[in-house]
Structure 1
Amino acid sequence: MALIYRKLTEKDLVTFIEMRINQLREEGAKEDIDLRPALKDYYTRHMSDGTFLSWLAVDNDKIIGTSGMSIVEKPPYFGCPSGRIGLLSSMFTDKNYRRQGIAKELLSRVVNEAKECGCGTVQITASDMGVLLYTDFGFTKNNNFMQYKL
């Protein structure tokens, strides 16, 4: 295995988007629209302005693991005086490569980059499969998270 870690580039977007869709399917999302155009638009815009960060795991030119971090800004608060928050997404590893520390390495790289960008906290809505990865890394659950769907 010739595994390397590198940053996402625009030439990777087609594969990255397919892996994101596979992740959503695996998590049980109902696929009632084609998300590809919206995802391409989002990643292109936010990669260019620096508000989307991503590291990839690549084995012999094949992307086998992804990570993503959207940088958002809220009014500062005591738990995050900078107001800059990293919203973690797109954490996905090909089934044939799981349980080898790849997701942990990707998580470490994207969290470190968020810290360098001035984020005071990182948040994620974790899948059941991902909870152990995040708690082992040091994430804590926040039972106050609520969502209102528009």
Structure 2
Amino acid sequence: MIEIKIATKDDIDSLMSIRLEMLKVVNNLSEDYEYSDEIITESRDYFLNGDHLTVLAMDGDTAIGCASMSFLRIMPTFYHPTGKRAHLMNVYTRSEYRRQGIARKMVELLIEKTWEKGATEISLDATELGRPLYKSIGFTDSTECMVLTKM
């Protein structure tokens, strides 16, 4: 039986393990790729101290999926009077567990908790593999956003 649960600080080892696995998969990195100390340290710090909710999909004691909602607050606007927004990220299920509704359950739990926290908008960056799921939940494509990335 797969359990979907909101992660706590006590789950840090499972969180780190499944996130680093997910990063290898989505970035097409080799199994033996070694992460920088910075990404490990900063990821661990974010899980322990960041403004987020993360869920884990567990098969017994083994993490087989994860999803995170990061929260941010911007100046309130007419359409977002609280200024509270969220960004869905790191939605991942191990390949052998896919097509069982696990990612949907993780995302739906995060959405429910995000609305409860008063956010008025959820954004995400979708892979082609994830797009059908997000569209079926109600996410729509947006042309409103432009991005500047520090190089």
Asked if TM exceeds 0.5, the reply is yes
- Counterpart CA distance in 2 for 1:24 and 1:104 is 19
1:135 is paired with a residue of what secondary structure?
Answer: helix
Please give the alpha-carbon distance, in whole angstroms, between the structure 1 residues aligned to 2:60 and 2:13: 18
Q: How far did 1:14 drift? A: 2.2
Output the CA distance in 1 between the equivalents of 2:114 and 2:104: 15
Partner of 1:132: 132
Matches within 5 A, 1:1-150: 2-28=1-27, 33-34=36-37, 35-46=39-50, 51-150=51-150
- Deviation at 1:5? 1.7
| Corresponding letter in the other structure for 1:54 | T
How far 1:61 moved relative to its partner?
1.8
Runs of 4+ aligned structure 1 residues displaced above 4 Å come to: 29-32
| TM-score (normalised: structure 1) | 0.88
Q: Percent identity?
A: 27
Distance of 2:119 and 2:63 partners within structure 1: 27
| TM-superposition CA deviations, 1:14-48 (whole Å, max 9, x none) | 221222222222222777734111100111112xx
C-alpha distance after superposition, 1:45-84 (max 9, x if no partner)? 12xxxx2111211111211111111111011123322110
Structure 1 SS opposite 2:3: strand
Gaps of 5+ in 2: none
CA shift, 1:10, in A, is 1.6
> How many residues are aligned here?
145
Counterparts of 1:56 and 1:24, CA distance in 2: 15
**Matched residue type, 2:36:** I
Question: Match of 2:127, as an amino acid?
Answer: S
CA distance in 2, matches of 1:57, 1:27: 18
Distance 1:38 1:52 in 2: 14
**Normalised TM-score (structure 2):** 0.87
Gaps of 5+ in 1: none
